[in-house]
Structure 1
Amino acid sequence: MRVLLTGGSGFIAAHVLDVLLECGHSVVTTVRSSEKGQSILKNHPDVPKDKLDFVIVEDIAKPGAFDTAIVSDPPFETVIHTASPFHFNVTDPQKELLDPAVIGTTGILKSIKQHAPTVKRVVITSSFASIIDSSKGNRPGYEYSEKDWDPVTQEEAVQNPVLGYRASKTFAEKASWEFLENEKPNFTIATMCPPLVLGPIVHYLQNLDNLNTSNQRIAAIMTGKAKEAIPPTGTFIWVDVRDLALAHVKAAELPEAANKRFFVTAGYFSNEEIADIIRDKYPELKDKVPAKGTKGGEYPSEGIFKYNNSRTKEVLGIEFRSLEDSIVDTVKSLQAVGA
């Protein structure tokens, strides 16, 4: 199939791109600059232009941002929309988080409906942030699944970057389901709701300075920044980026994924477990990794919510990697860029 992949230089999208190419699909990816696009092409030297190309979309929050990107010869059949900001270094949550997420998502759906009638499936990267009710704390005994929605409000969304991020994911995903209902387009959608995404970085796109937010904890533990105290885990469920990338592609390929939401998680983890794995598997880092018994990063004493990932396993056929495999591969990839 021919696919438009948005945000192609992002952590998740770079892995989605690799899976798409491995599966023989033809991909055009959106990037914010020609430099990023050339970097992607240069690092896939054996892939011909008809199988991989890029188009520049500088600002996804601008009206009509995707109008020209979505027009292609041969035409697209699928869109995988991963472009959305994930960082907390913001001063204006509305402008820097909410607008790009919500306007970017509704904008691309409008562009597809108006200019790309051949598109039959749109896969959207959402987040566990759009499922969890963070006001309820760890909720021991409660089982989260695709039926749950974060009740965050617009008033809360602009209070701080963390709420702003959660709201940006919730509002953007809700807007996509509303678009489907109200606009009755030619295409079906599937949304991916991963929690913390760990896993190896794609070296040509990332360095330690612009490391994706989720992997910063691994870098901190392996480089000595968490030697005295392990930081709190925060969200106690995770997924490897390669499994998530495969889930995106399966959701694009499989008819039965149409109009479904997918809670894509491998299960539980803690920062303490990450430290244990790095200490065990990389003995040369033992002077930097927190010693066994260092305070912090453990599971909450009262317990933690349950999760239901059966739809992702049954419909998409995903078999999740172990935490150990993910951490070992991530450390190796971070060492390759100088950690």
Structure 2
Amino acid sequence: MGFHTVVTTVRSDIKGRECLESFPEFANNLSYAIVEDMARSGAFDKAVQSEPPFEAVVHTASPFHYHAADRKRDMIDPAIMGTTEILRSIKRWAPSVKRVVITSSFAAVVNLQEAIPRYTADYWNPITMEQALTNGQLAYVGSKKFAEKAAWDFIETEKPGFTLSTINPVMVFGPATFRLDSLENVNTSNAVFSDMILGKMKSGIPPRSFQWVDVRDVALAHVRAIEVPEAAGQRFLAAAGPYSNYEIAKVIKENFPELADRLPEQIPVPDGTRSFVIDNTPMKQVLGIPFRSFKDCVVDTVKSLLEVKA
């Protein structure tokens, strides 16, 4: 990809060592900096200073939970401040940086109040701060919108020496790469896979449907957003297409017969599910992302989780 060294940020030395141990093949090209609280003023000042100096920065971290005691303090403010703090640090301490890529979310785009038949990168979630404070789910989607808005506002008002691109993924599935002690500790997005593997949906599968994307395609999109000059100033909606829990279970049954008895004998096709189209043309044409198939994503994800269980 043209990169020689990568410095990642972690919250503790233990997490940093775990990261290095997970990627031994990159031992000479990967290191870490500790940022205990990304919402603290100057939190990234030391992390963005490097020799040789950085050419690009990818900001991926943001709080993700629905049960915050104080939604503004614990979810919304950290998301906004974490984003603006890293941009301030880059502008002040890392003048060599020419491109910043931020992992936003389709949550910053989707309208939960009105059915929108087709989403493009120009669309923004219309949620207000007042609405975002009413429950955990709205606080989450609000935090994504407000944080991304703050980033674009920073570019507009501060006129830094770098350009910005954002990646806005939908539900992200894909193989687990970090060490997991148990399937109970799998990340939120892949929980539906671990629940099926563990037989937790034997009595019935929730009729969930949405849009999906493979984590490997999302990762590649971040790299391409750094490399491709035309990506500057753009939002990229990372979506491979629609899916349902029914389709996940169907692929698992067809490709892992040893798991069939952990799923319902009959898996009904959901009806009445909400459908919409996401314009992923910029992902394909600008970033050159050849989206993986749903089958490959499900099969590879299940294989990785079965290794955890073993």
TM-score (norm 1): 0.87
**What is the aligned partner in structure 2 of residue 7 from structure 1?**
none
- Worse overlay, 218-227 or 315-324: 218-227
Q: In the aligned structure 2, how far is the partner of 1:118 from the partner of 1:58?
A: 25
Q: In the aligned structure 1, how far is the partner of 2:30 from the partner of 2:180?
A: 17
The superposition leaves residues 219-261 of structure 1 with CA deviations (integer Å, 9 ceiling, x where unpaired) of 1122211122212325x11100000000000001111100100
**What is the aligned partner in structure 2 of residue 198 from structure 1?**
173
- Worse overlay, 310-319 or 78-87: 78-87
Q: In the aligned structure 1, how far is the partner of 2:270 from the partner of 2:92?
A: 50
Does residue 305 in structure 1 map to residue 276 in structure 2?
yes
1:250 partner letter: R
Does residue 174 in structure 1 map to residue 154 in structure 2?
no
Alpha carbons 2:80, 2:147 under 8 Å: kept: yes
Q: In the aligned structure 1, how far is the partner of 2:270 from the partner of 2:69?
A: 31
Instruction: Give the alignment of 1:1-339 within 5 angstroms.
Output: 23-49=2-28, 51-137=29-115, 139=116, 142-204=117-179, 207-234=182-209, 236-294=210-268, 298=270, 300=272, 303-338=274-309
Q: In the aligned structure 2, how far is the partner of 1:206 from the partner of 1:101?
A: 28
Q: In the aligned structure 2, how far is the partner of 1:108 from the partner of 1:201?
A: 27
Query: What stretches of structure 1 of length at least 5 have no aligned partner?
Result: 1-19
TM-superposed CA distance for 1:206, in Å, is 7.0
Alpha carbons 1:203, 1:336 under 8 Å: kept: no
The superposition leaves residues 107-160 of structure 1 with CA deviations (integer Å, 9 ceiling, x where unpaired) of 1001111111110000000011011101114x4xx2111011001111111111
Alpha carbons 2:284, 2:290 under 8 Å: kept: yes
TM-score (norm 2): 0.95
The superposition leaves residues 28-82 of structure 1 with CA deviations (integer Å, 9 ceiling, x where unpaired) of 0000111111112223334344x21100001111111101111111111100000
Query: What stretches of structure 2 of length at least 5 have no aligned partner?
Result: none
2:97 partner letter: V
TM-superposed CA distance for 1:292, in Å, is 2.5
TM-superposed CA distance for 1:103, in Å, is 0.4
Alpha carbons 1:32, 1:56 under 8 Å: kept: yes
TM-superposed CA distance for 1:209, in Å, is 3.4
Q: In the aligned structure 2, how far is the partner of 1:286 from the partner of 1:63?
A: 52
Provide the aligned length of Structure 1 versus Structure 2.
310
TM-superposed CA distance for 1:203, in Å, is 3.4
The superposition leaves residues 146-179 of structure 1 with CA deviations (integer Å, 9 ceiling, x where unpaired) of 0110011111111111111101110000000000
Q: In the aligned structure 2, how far is the partner of 1:134 from the partner of 1:206?
A: 35
- Over the aligned positions, Cα root-mean-square deviation in angstroms equals 1.7
Partner of 1:213: helix, strand, or coil? coil
Partner of 1:256: helix, strand, or coil? helix
Q: In the aligned structure 2, how far is the partner of 1:156 from the partner of 1:259?
A: 28
Partner of 1:286: helix, strand, or coil? helix
- Aligned-residue sequence identity (percent) comes to 50
Partner of 1:319: helix, strand, or coil? coil
Alpha carbons 1:221, 1:290 under 8 Å: kept: no
